Amino acid sequence: MDTCRVPANTSKCSGNTMECFMVLSTQAQKISIGILCGLFGTMCVFENSLVLYLIFSSPGIRKKPSYLFIGSLALADILASIIFVCSFINFHVFNEAGFSKEVFLLQLGGVNTSFSASLSSLLLTALDRYISISRPSQYKLLMTRKRAWTALGVLWATCATIACLPLLGWNCCVLDSSCSELFPFVDDNYLSGWLCFVVVLLGCIISAYAHVLWRARQHVAYMEKHQAQVGKQNTRMRMDVMLARTLVMVLAVLVLCWSPVLVLMSYSVFARLSDRLRKVFAFCSTLCLLNSMVNPIIYALRSKELSSSLRRAFSHFRRQLKAPEESPEAESTHKSSVVET
């Protein structure tokens, strides 16, 4: 087992750094965490998988860059849920500490990559909406599918590189520096840098959406003033305004769910956390799963295109179920039974 410099308030753990971070002390706490992770994680994977299916099974939807970014967000939420739930329950509920430093940092890097990609996808979506509303006539020239895929490739590569820095050597074991109180083997300086990266992303997203909302309000006022004018451009405006409002709701849920975790992470960099606050952090971490679970519900309720695609999928599924009953074999069997009767 790798040993590092243990935080001052966890020195009572007798040098076993992994056990120092197992903060759930009662069976009731472990069962509660297990139920929350199992419920939120299962729903998150199912809902986001459905969103991906609806996007990529519909040619009309998957051609639009806006939905490519939403698909990236759904994929990031799926990966984060799977990796987070498996590693979190294994560590905090079953108290499994037999894996190596490299395995733990790989799991942590997977969660960080997914969350960073989720935020970055929201940023790309915000920029996409801003271009669509501010320059509607040039949108198709500026935002092509090739550029969207290129942006997503750069996004995921950047997030993976930043998240894997501890695994590549920026950790408190290699550097012999002070470790984080919340994550084993993680250097405090790296945690500070990652928090700055996340805060910058959130700031850019909020700034972009502020401009989107301002443009959306201008378009709403324009449409109310020219209600008699009906055409493609007016319809396109309504769709852009609706999608902009939908993604603002996604952003609001993101901030509400992740704020407690980010605040406690920031506090741990500058001050020592009590055992009670570390337990609070463990429970607040499940809010990240709640955020990933709520996002697809917002899409289904707010996006007319995804709602229509969902209705078509259900109709197709129902026809598939009814097909065996209406097959020639079933019909002939039914006729013969009538004759015998």
Measured distance CA(243)–CA(220) in Å, rounded:
13
User: Domains in the chain, ordered, with CATH?
Assistant: 24-227+234-307 (1.20.1070.10)
Which tokens belong to 220?
């709403």
List b or e across 212-223, with b for residues whose CB sees 16 or more CB atoms inside 10 angstroms.
Answer: bbebbeebeeee
Mean pLDDT of 124-146: 85
| Predicted local confidence at residue 339, as pLDDT | 39
pLDDT confidence band for 10 (50 / 70 / 90): very low
**What is the widest separation between alpha-carbon atoms in the chain?**
87
Q: pLDDT tens digits for 57-78?
A: 888 888 888 889 989 999 999 9
The pLDDT tens digits of the residues spanning 155-201 come to 999 999 999 999 998 988 888 778 888 888 888 899 999 999 988 88
- Enter the tokens of residue 146: 């090739």
Mention every residue, 6+ apart, whose C-beta is less than 8 A from residue 316: none
In angstroms, the Cα distances linking 340 to 326, 330, 332 are 20, 16, 12
Q: Which residue has the tokens 């092509």?
A: 144
